[in-house]
Amino acid sequence: MHRIQIIEGDITCCQTDAIVNAANTSLLGGGGVDGAIHRAAGPALLEECRSLNGCATGEAKITRGYNLPARFVIHTVGPIWRDGAHGEHAALASCYRRVFEVAIQHGIRSIAFPAISTGAYRFPPDAACRIALEETARILARHQHFEQVLFVAFNPTVFAAFQSALKAILPPPS
**pLDDT tens for each residue of 102-145:** 999 999 999 999 999 999 999 999 999 999 999 999 999 999 99
pLDDT band at 172 (very low <50, low <70, confident <90, very high): low
Summarize the confidence of residues 27-36 as an average pLDDT. Answer: 94
Q: What is the pLDDT of residue 170?
A: 74
Does 3.40.50.300 match the CATH number of domain 4-169?
no
- Sorted by where each begins, the domain ranges of the chain are 4-169
Q: In this structure, which amino acid lies at residue 42?
A: G
Cα gap 65→62, rounded to integer Å: 9
pLDDT at 1 over 70: no
Higher-confidence residue of 30 and 67: namely: 67
Backbone phi, then psi, for 148, in 5-degree steps? -150, 130
Q: What is the pLDDT of residue 111?
A: 98
Q: What is the pLDDT of residue 40?
A: 98
Compute CA distances 135 → 13, 35, 46, 68, whole Å.
24, 26, 29, 26
Instruction: Note whether 112 and 19 are within 8 A (CB).
Output: yes
pLDDT at 11 over 60: yes
Backbone phi, then psi, for 134, in 5-degree steps? -65, -50
Closest-CA residue to 115 (of 132, 103, 93, 135) = 132
**pLDDT tens for each residue of 90-100:** 999 999 999 99
Residues whose CB is less than 8 angstroms from the CB of residue 57 and which lie 6 or more positions away in sequence, other chains included: 25, 77, 78, 79, 91
Q: What is the pLDDT of residue 85?
A: 96
The answer to whether the Cα torsion of 31, 27, 87, 103 is positive or negative is negative
Report the DSSP pairing between strands 18-23 and 4-8: unpaired
Summarize the confidence of residues 150-160 as an average pLDDT. Answer: 97
Instruction: Note whether 73 and 154 are within 8 A (CB).
Output: no
